[in-house]
Each structure stands twice: as structure tokens, then as C-alpha cells.
Amino acid sequence: MSLSALNSYLPKPCAPPRPGGRPTRTKVFAQPPTLAILSDPHVLRLAETLEDSIAASSSSPPPPLQKLRDISSQSLLTTPWPSRKDEPFRFTDTSFIRNSEVHPVTLAPTQNLDVLSGLADSISPNIAIIDGYLVESLSNLSELPDGVFVGRLSDLNSKGLMEKVSKYVSNFQGDLFWSLNGVGAPDVVLVYVPEGCKVEKPLGLRFVSMNRSYKGSKSLPISNPRVLVLVEKGGDIGIVEEYVGGDGDDRCYWTNSVMEVVVGDGAKVSHSYIQTQSLGAAHVKWTSVSQGSKSVYELTEVSTGGKLSRHNVHVKQEGPDTVTELSSFHLSIGDQLQDLHSKLVLDHPRGFSRQLHKVIVAHSLGQAVFDGNVQVNRDAQQTDAGQLSRSLLLEPRATVNVKPNLQIIADDVKCSHGAAISDLEEDQLFYFEARGIDRSTARKALIFSFAAEVIEHFPDVTLQKKVENLIRTLLTPALPSGV
Amino acid sequence: MAMALFSPTFSFRISTSAPQRRRRRCFVQSSQATVAIEAPSSSTTDLLLQVKDLSAVIAESKQTILKGVNLTVRHGEVHAVMGKNGSGKSTFAKVLAGHPDYEVTGGSIMYKGLDLLEMEPEERAIAGLFMSFQSPVEIPGVSNIDFLNMAYNARRRKLGLPELGPIEFYGYVAPKLELVNMKTDFLNRNVNEGFSGGEKKRNEILQLAVLGAEFAILDEIDSGLDVDALQDVAKAVNGVLTSKNSVLMITHYLRLLEFIKPTYIHIMENGRIVKTGDISLAETLEREGYKAIS
């Protein structure tokens, strides 16, 4: 096929972006044909739609945000939609999103928001992010210590802080979905904790999707929430990220979320993440963490919603003596795919990490994927890294694909990994029976206790109880009969 | 249900006539006469457990382990079973409890007039049969107190008695901890998770004390215990013994028998009980080994 023939199929080229720092709206995607050959037209179309919707709604964005958009759109030029031939998506079928008519959400500020006033029951301080937009009227930030900033990047007045943020924005290159978020995020929600500051109460971030389409319609509204958590040296904060919107319905929407966490030297971030979105929704999330020396990052995750739920975790060690604890529990009770791809990159000595991943697939169409990568590079001597993945398959034809992988180059390390996929253990069931407890009660107790091991990691006890009740409710009707 | 009466010299029995759904085969066949020291008056009201000619195989491999075990236990008696490794002692205990790894191929077990082989493991437990495991399994995620509460309430439900909620149950259980010399924080730990050998065994006895039992089978309760822990366990067992309930202990050593005095001692060899005697049998065994007995 000649270049000129190709040319006729592609968007017409227009003038290249004007030089100078003025944040004018430029159409980055109508590029010279040579670059466009490497692009995926579907991706480009989607990116253009996102770009248009952002430009329509906001005024001039702050420099870090503009930088983010530029870098992301640049990378989208050469990033195709992932296929099953790409290793990171080998077991994850994204055709559900690919084949829908994805359209961005613009926030209608007053529509139906009173419905959400029930959010006030959640922990405080908290902020509400509706369809990717921070909504102050539903947030409660009264109890934060001095110096802590929680709000939109566009509302940030401090120049010094803005400069700091600029440094961190898009240091990291994720995948297509990361870049789509970079182009489509209306703003960045910044959570800033100054040096030595300990935030006593955990900060709640509630993500709600109001724009939803009905099952069967091909349309899929997309929202791109983006959060940056910047914790300075010695800071300490707990974050509770909740994605709600289940209500037992199966409305469709796509939440394409990114959270970047920068943990300064000696700082501690305890991150709780709960996803209970609708069973017809697509949930794609990136959590990119960078840890300074002697810092502590603890992630406890429970994911039960979404038709397609994919969580990418990337933790990069920037200094020695770090502590990283990742605990996750995924539950598939219907025709759902729960996917966790995690990557821990260690380049400094004496890092300590533990990862526990548990999955229950309780439906014959249910699927789960786990890819746990740990890279212990040459300078990461005396690393102590452990990883354990346990999956419980409760129905015939339930599927789980597990790929624990450790890449170890340093030679003075202690690393372990284990994966087990099974039904409940017969010995444990018999122990219950031998004490007079009948088999089906024993099964219920053991299945619940399988999940409880991860739920116990939540730092906040009320949160633990809430999640325990949720899991109990989800598991009860889902239990297979005739055991 | 008609009980078959037999005296040591006869070699056949009358089968029961009540039609029943048999989940396990229950043979009627002639048996060898066994030499047993039994109390002269063999009245059936005294009988707690009667095992006749029990044979069993490993369910998967069909390898025969029990080759005709005969045993009679009356209310208030303490029996000890000793024998070489591999003689089938633990298997016997597990078959009594109804472990799915084993399949009964012959004989019968009557417990309080009930056909034990027709009962599921949880039914046997609720009927008062308690087995303490040799290697108790860990159950992460289920706390000791929740587990005990579930088992206790299962029993109460069966007996038509009101169940206890968590707080009332705590009030019932806390004093029992002293029996096994354990602190209250023990109740919040997960069942057997991270327990030492001694703690696991004491946990078994705590369960016995909480749930109560008419017939307790203790499978090597003394293995892995130091002298102090052994005394605690023995004291607890003696504490639950009454004239109504009985114990069957499986052990290798005389030590345990010095604390829990047995009424009878049986030696098991090659899948059957080959000798029965009193404490002097155990003393001979300790001095001279199994060769002196067989």
C-alpha cells in the first residue's frame, strides 16, 4: 500500500502546535502521516473525544496538568489498543470496552446530586469525586491539620507546591489506560501532607459514577479521576479509596482511574482501596507508588464489583530500607473478571516486602487473573521479599490465571513466592464436622475466613466490619448448593 | 432396636431387623472369638461403646488397616490403646470419628444403642463422641471463640436448648480456660494458628471441656508435651471424667497412664487388639518392649 493511499484514509494534517508556553488548544492528533501509521485509529479517535471534552469544560489548566496532557497525548500516538497477544493482557479480554461507544462524561453540577447526600455517613475527613470531578459540596475537610492540602490542582495557590508537583507529574509511563487518563482527566486532585505531619484520621475518597448507561446499549460513559498523593519526609496519612455505584444493579460505565502516591523518606502511607462498582461496569485503575528510603507503604484492597476490573500496581523503591505490604482480595460472583497486575521494583538494599493475594471465584463464568512481578535488581542486596497467592474455585469452569514472577539479579536476598489454587481443604472441613458443625455451615465459615485474612489488614476497625458484612452478603447467595 | 447379646464363647450373632437406609455396609458374619477380660455382669445398660469385628481400609488405596477390632467400653471406664507404629491405633480412632479417608468394610459399632456407622461425623459429635486429634489442623481466619461458639450452639440446637450469643458464651467459656491453664487472649487467636504443639493439645482439651462428651477419644494427647503441660492436660481430662462418661486414650508411653489411670489397657497389633490387661501390662511393655507381650 503506498503512502499516498494511506494518506487518504487518515485525518488530514493541520498546522503543528505553536511554539511558546501559551496553553492554546491544539489538536495534537492530526499529525503528519508517518507518525500516524504507528497509531491505532481507535485510540486516536477516543483520545480526540477526550481532549475535546476537556477543552470544552475547563479554563487554562495549571502547568503540571498541561504537561501531563502533552506527554500523555504524545504517547497515545504510538500506543495501540492492547490485544491478547500482549503479555500484560494475555488473560484479560478488554473487548467489552473496545467495542462500546465510549463517550466522556461532563459533569452536570446540579443534576441528581442530592441523591448522594447520603455520602455524609462516610468517614470524615472525606472528599467526593463524582464522575471524575471533585465536588466540594459533598466533601467534608474540616478536620485536617495545618499545612495539609486536599483539593484540585487548579485551586492550588502556592507556587512552591505547584513546582514540587510539576516534578512528579508523569515521571512514570504506564500503559494505554494510564495515558488515556492523562488526556481525559479534568483535573488532578492533590493530597499534600507537609514534612513531619501526621494526619490522625484517615482521609476518605469516595468515587461515584452518576452517568451510567443501561445494559445492552452500546454506549459507555467514561470518567477519568486522577489523584496525586504527595507525602513529604516523615509525614503519615491513611487514605481510604472507595469506588461505589453497585446498588445491585448492572448499569454500565467505565471508570478509568489513576492514583499516584509519592511517599517521602521516613513517611508512611496506609492505603485502603475498596471497589464495589456495578456488575456491568468497567473499572481500570492504576496505582503508581514511589517510596523514599525508610518509608512504609501498605495497600489493602478488596474488589468485588465490575464486569471487568483491572488494577495495576507499580511500586518503585527510591531509597533503601523500605517496607511494602500489599494485601488484596478479589471476589467474582458473576460473569466477572478480576485482574491484579502488580510490579514491585527494588533497586536499593534492605527492602522488606510482603504480598498476599486471595481470590474467590464463585461462578462458572467468573474469572480472575493475578500477575505478581517483583524485580530485585543488582543493588537491592539483603532484600526480604515474600509473595503468596491463594485462589479458591468454588464452581466448575470457574477460571483463575496466576503468574507469580520474581526477577532476581542481586545475590544476597531472601525471596519467596507461592501460589495455590484449590477448593476448601478437607482436613479443615472434617475438623468442623468432628465438633458437631454440619458441612454447609463449615463451608460458609471457611469461605468467609478465607477472605477474612485480607480484611483483617484494614487499619480501621469500622471499615473492617463494613467490608466483612459486605463480603458476607455477597457470599451467602453465591454459595454452591449440594455440598 | 434389638441388641444382640453375646457371650465370649459363641461365634455368631443375630442381625438387627429394623429396615434402615444403609450408607455403609454392615456385614453379618461369623467372627473369631476374642479373648477379652470383661466384667462378669455384661448388662447392656452399662454399655457405651461396642465395637465388633471392625475392619477398614484406606478409601483411596483400598489398603487394609483394621482387620477385625473388638472392643467394649462401659460408662465411667478409661481405656488405653497402645501398640507399635503402624498397628492401626490412629486409624481406629479416626474410623470411630467418621473420617472420610477411611472406609469400613466389615463389622459394627454400637454407641449408646445407636448404629454409629449410619451417622455422619457431625451427628456422632453431637451424640457425645469427642475425638481429640493427633495433629490438629490450623484454621486461619476463624477465631477460637467463634469456633467454640458454633460447635456449642450446634449441640444446643440439636438438644432443643437455647443457643448462646457471643457475650453469654464468653461468660461460659472464660472459666474453662483455667482448666487448661491458658489466658483469655487465647480465645481471640485463630484456631491452632501459630500454636505450639502443647497449645494445640491444650486447645483440644479446652474444646472437650466446653462441649462436653460422653465418650472422649484422645489420640496421642501426650505427644509433644513437656512434663508441666502434660500434667495440665491430664488434670483437665480427669476433671471432665465422671461416672457417666468414658475415655479411650491412644498413647505410646506409660507417662500419661500414670496421670490418667486406665481401667483397661489394650495392645493393638496389625489391625486388631491382641491383648488386654491392666496397668501391669503397660509396665511390662515399658521395661521389655513389644516382644515381651506378643
**Regarding predicted confidence, which is higher, A15 or A64?**
A64
Q: Which ranges of A19-127 does DSSP label H, i.e. alpha helix? A: 33-36, 41-57, 63-76, 95-98
Residue B26 C-alpha cell reads as 454392615
- Identify the closest residue of chain A to B128 by CA–CA distance: A436
Answer yes or no: do A428 and B121 touch at CB < 8 A.
no
Q: What is the pLDDT of residue B115?
A: 93
pLDDT per position as a tens digit, A220-254: 899 999 999 999 999 999 999 999 875 657 789 99
Q: Are B243 and B76 in contact (CB under 8 A)?
A: yes
What number of C-beta contacts closer than 8 Å exist between A and B?
A: 74
Q: What is the pLDDT of residue A234?
A: 93
- Does B285 have pLDDT greater than 70? yes
Q: What is the pLDDT of residue A211?
A: 83
- Does A139 have pLDDT greater than 70? yes
Q: What is the pLDDT of residue B139?
A: 85
Chain B residues 41-100 within an 8 A CB cutoff of chain A: 97-100
**Regarding predicted confidence, which is higher, A341 or A172?**
A341
* CA-based R_g, chain A, Å: 23
Helices (runs of H) and strands (runs of E) counted in chain B: 10, 12
- Does A433 have pLDDT greater than 60? yes
Smallest Cα distance from B142 to chain A, Å: 6
**Regarding predicted confidence, which is higher, A131 or A56?**
A131
Can you list the domains of chain B with their CATH numbers?
10-292 (3.40.50.300)
A419-436 per-residue burial string, b: 16 or more CB within 10 A, e: under 16: bebeebeeebbbbbbbbb
Q: What is the pLDDT of residue A21?
A: 45
Question: What is the C-alpha to C-alpha distance for residues B53 and B273, in angstroms, rounded to an integer?
Answer: 10
Q: What is the pLDDT of residue B239?
A: 83
Q: What is the pLDDT of residue B4?
A: 39
Q: What is the pLDDT of residue A366?
A: 94
Overall size of chain A counted in residues: 483
Tell me the helix, strand and coil percentages in chain B, rounded to 5: 35, 25, 40
Q: What is the pLDDT of residue A378?
A: 93
pLDDT bucket at A18, cuts 50 / 70 / 90: very low
DSSP state at residue A91: S
**Regarding predicted confidence, which is higher, B25 or B79?**
B79
Q: What is the pLDDT of residue A37?
A: 59
Smallest Cα distance from A432 to chain B, Å: 8
Answer yes or no: do A449 and B97 touch at CB < 8 A.
no
- Identify the closest residue of chain B to A430 by CA–CA distance: B99
Q: Are A127 and A205 in contact (CB under 8 A)?
A: yes
CA B153 to chain centre: 22
pLDDT per position as a tens digit, A380-407: 999 999 999 999 998 899 999 999 999 9
The ipTM value here is 0.81
Q: Which of B137, B214, B217 to mutate to test the interface with A (most CBs of A within 10 A)?
A: B137
Q: In A, which residues are within 8 Å of B207 by CB distance?
A: 435
Residue B160 C-alpha cell reads as 432443643
Say if B140 is an interface residue toward chain A (CB within 8 Å): yes
pTM, entire model: 0.76
Phi, psi for residue A321 in degrees, rounded to 5:
60, 40
Q: Which of A437, A444, A471 to mutate to test the interface with B (most CBs of B within 10 A)?
A: A437
